[in-house]
Chains A and B, each alone.
Chain A
């Protein structure tokens, strides 16, 4: 029981990352008194992330200086229901954030939109390939919101970030040099695309030779002085190479502190409390609504913060955890395939291709940035004919140069030993002559990949840990191989390349592992939709069971498209906030009939 009860606020927001701070900005300006509860500490871009101290590979990239402390909260993991799930004792596969700005501080800044067909995945594939095409074990479904509905919101988030890129579909006009497969844009990117290093340029040339459509990766590493719609000032990126896993002290990577927090922190309707660990959402006696949240304050005392509206912005996984420990929504049970909370957990299917150049190509890999890449989208989504392929979904292929940080960046050709004199020579000889290709693939949902509560282990607050059951579906193993082989062909076509090697994280026979980093793109678990038996929230992000609880983040995705999630999930956030402001708050009620 909470030992202290505070005065009621209009809106309580759990989490101070991209979605939480944005919700606070928009709702505070709509006249709502907002309290943000952030479990981590206060920090500021200018003072907390300044070089050269921030440029400490060991502290931030390897020892996870900005990330969540697993001693306090973690999850358990297993590949399938026959195993016992065991705690994720060390960070690895994904790196959730903590503290002001959340993971939005140490993200790369690759800013994507979903394809129109991604948002209507089930009906799109059925329409194009027939209703027999989708295997029974897949639980993919439509999002309940269309690309055209999201477009203004996707566009607005790109403006908030000062995104740099080149439109491939501007008001219906296809433009070579941009992504010709993308949905129609109402405006071009606010800033010009990034400069590309030699390896990415050679990749683009090879891709073009093969008849593909390369374009610069859309980037929230800003390319010129820029003011966003909230009035935040951003500066041009220095290509410093300490981007992913680091905060940007140059005001060049769009993050929630510079872009949002600084523009709202002094507003009368805004308050944020740090080191405020939300333990659970409280419900009214009839169970129909939430009454607020209970959190553990800085002083270790449990505090109840009553509120008219509760926003869950704690990152996808932890939103699901909060729902489960608070008994919000019906938990998913894979045995009966009923219930919804935890259903359709999905990840990202990643493969990598290494191209090694001769000594004529000097890549200077340390001149990098989080979203510095040239991309081919010809094998993403349904941009290619799947009729004969035996899988659905796809991924983008990018040649990227994020960093040459020497502990982690040690590309060596296949067959190089892991240590010793030959290893040492190979590291030295290849460091400056390497092209780094990634295949960033979609992840379908199935009956067997899901989240629930662990029966054995607890967090530092005594709550059962979240339990993740996940393995790569066969569909995605095939998809990963197929797209990776296209990437290998491009790599072999690149000038000055002497050898190519590849690895598919989802190769046949290889179980998903929690150990090596893949992506922090955990999706699903509290999915959106138009049917309460297969979704936790309706198409506006509002819980079916508790109309004053709104949910944000990639947990809404019914399956994960082949893109990084923040563009899509922020598009959804603005979509939800728009409906809250214009429709819900003046007349709180379920926005859709169950």
Chain B
């Protein structure tokens, strides 16, 4: 076990709800269940609650994240654990507004003035998902309509709930990409999905001899806690409410 893993868990605040047992169901049909590695102990996983999300929020996030990063020769966002990543991020420092100056008042600014919302990122995401679901629940749309919905949302000018739609959208997109490519200690990038895709060898980095080469790197990826931490599979996400 590494320190890093402990400290992440240590930071989770104590207020999360205990989500009901997640039921393993495929997200986009048979593909996901087929690609789920069999070695994982689902029984044990099922009992594990989300740190921050509700099941509905997790389903919604999985749906949008898989539009951002769909499955091809490489796993989709949710297959790579992006929802687990987002859950942990919202429960810990970033989501809870660490390093974010939140003194009021909060007049509206220009885009050049950056974040001016009176909320933490976790609140932004929670409120945004609730407002979006009130209009249409992305997770219940047929696969073919999801892309159209996200495309429309990406250009939306009306606010979503109390927040500018573009701020909410931008935050979701960043979180999804982060989850796909961050070190697996943060629960995304499962089995180095993102790193394998681009060929990034990871955190153990000594290249003095090779830096001038024009040749591919064969080295398989190694994360910070490689070989020390049993990477757990992404939580299964039930499609039913």
**Which positions in A face B, CB cutoff 8 Å?**
51-53, 55-58, 62-64, 67, 69-71, 74, 77-79, 83-84, 86-92, 195-198, 201, 236-242, 360-362, 364, 366-367, 372, 404-407, 410, 418-421, 424-425, 427-428, 431-432, 456-458, 511-515
With an 8 A cutoff between CB atoms, is B112 at the interface? yes
Chain B CB within 10 A, most for which of A69, A197, A405, A424? A424
Q: Can you spell out 25 A-B residue pairs with CB atoms less than 8 angstroms apart? A: A51-B203, A51-B204, A51-B205, A52-B202, A53-B4, A53-B224, A58-B178, A69-B99, A70-B99, A71-B99, A88-B114, A89-B114, A196-B211, A197-B211, A236-B208, A238-B207, A239-B206, A366-B207, A406-B194, A407-B181, A418-B173, A419-B67, A428-B74, A514-B114, A515-B111
CB distance from B106 to the nearest CB of A (A): 9
Report chain A residues within 8 Å CB of B111.
513, 515
A195 to B209, CA, bound (A): 10
- The reply to whether B68 and A420 contact each other, CB–CB distance below 8 Å, is yes
CB distance from A510 to the nearest CB of B (A): 9
Report chain A residues within 8 Å CB of B18.
none
With an 8 A cutoff between CB atoms, is B165 at the interface? no
- Whether A364 touches B213, Cβ cut-off 8 Å, given contacts A240-B206, A419-B68, is yes
CB distance from B146 to the nearest CB of A (A): 11
CB distance from B108 to the nearest CB of A (A): 9
Report chain B residues within 8 Å CB of A71.
98-102
Partner of A241, one of B3, B69, B98, B207: B207
Report chain B residues within 8 Å CB of A515.
111-112, 114
A89 to B107, CA, bound (A): 13
- The reply to whether A56 and B114 contact each other, CB–CB distance below 8 Å, is no
Report chain A residues within 8 Å CB of B54.
none
- The reply to whether B211 and A239 contact each other, CB–CB distance below 8 Å, is yes
- The reply to whether B181 and A90 contact each other, CB–CB distance below 8 Å, is no
Report chain A residues within 8 Å CB of B173.
418-419
With an 8 A cutoff between CB atoms, is B105 at the interface? yes
With an 8 A cutoff between CB atoms, is B195 at the interface? yes
* Minimal Cβ-Cβ distance residue in A for B222: A52
Mark out the residues of chain B between 53 and 91 whose CB falls within 8 Å of any chain A CB in the assembled complex.
67-70, 72, 74
Report chain A residues within 8 Å CB of B223.
52
* Minimal Cβ-Cβ distance residue in A for B199: A432
- The reply to whether B113 and A77 contact each other, CB–CB distance below 8 Å, is yes
A201 to B213, CA, bound (A): 11
A406 to B221, CA, bound (A): 12
| A contacts with B: majority SS | loop
With an 8 A cutoff between CB atoms, is B9 at the interface? no
A51 to B226, CA, bound (A): 12
- The reply to whether A197 and B212 contact each other, CB–CB distance below 8 Å, is yes
- The reply to whether A406 and B198 contact each other, CB–CB distance below 8 Å, is yes
Work out how many contacts link A and B, with CB atoms closer than 8 A. 186
A52 to B2, CA, bound (A): 11
| B contacts with A: majority SS | loop
A196 to B210, CA, bound (A): 10
- Whether A79 touches B110, Cβ cut-off 8 Å, given contacts A52-B224, A425-B72, is yes
CB distance from A513 to the nearest CB of B (A): 4
CB distance from A215 to the nearest CB of B (A): 17
* Minimal Cβ-Cβ distance residue in A for B73: A428
A513 to B112, CA, bound (A): 4
- The reply to whether A90 and B205 contact each other, CB–CB distance below 8 Å, is no
Report chain B residues within 8 Å CB of A84.
107
With an 8 A cutoff between CB atoms, is B215 at the interface? yes
Report chain A residues within 8 Å CB of B226.
52
- Knowing that A360-B214, A364-B213, A514-B112 are A-B contacts, what are 12 other residue pairs whose CB atoms are under 8 Å apart, sorted by A's residue number? A70-B100, A77-B113, A88-B101, A90-B99, A195-B208, A201-B212, A238-B206, A239-B208, A239-B211, A364-B211, A419-B154, A456-B105
- The reply to whether B67 and A83 contact each other, CB–CB distance below 8 Å, is no
A419 to B69, CA, bound (A): 7
Report chain A residues within 8 Å CB of B113.
77-78, 86, 514
Partner of B183, one of A57, A91, A404, A431: A57
CB distance from A370 to the nearest CB of B (A): 13
CB distance from A84 to the nearest CB of B (A): 6
A366 to B201, CA, bound (A): 8
CB distance from A131 to the nearest CB of B (A): 35
- The reply to whether A407 and B177 contact each other, CB–CB distance below 8 Å, is yes
With an 8 A cutoff between CB atoms, is B37 at the interface? no
A418 to B166, CA, bound (A): 13
A458 to B102, CA, bound (A): 11
With an 8 A cutoff between CB atoms, is B142 at the interface? no
- The reply to whether B99 and A406 contact each other, CB–CB distance below 8 Å, is no
Partner of B195, one of A91, A361, A406: A406
With an 8 A cutoff between CB atoms, is B27 at the interface? no
Report chain B residues within 8 Å CB of A420.
67-68, 70, 147
Report chain A residues within 8 Å CB of B50.
none
- The reply to whether A406 and B207 contact each other, CB–CB distance below 8 Å, is no
With an 8 A cutoff between CB atoms, is B144 at the interface? no
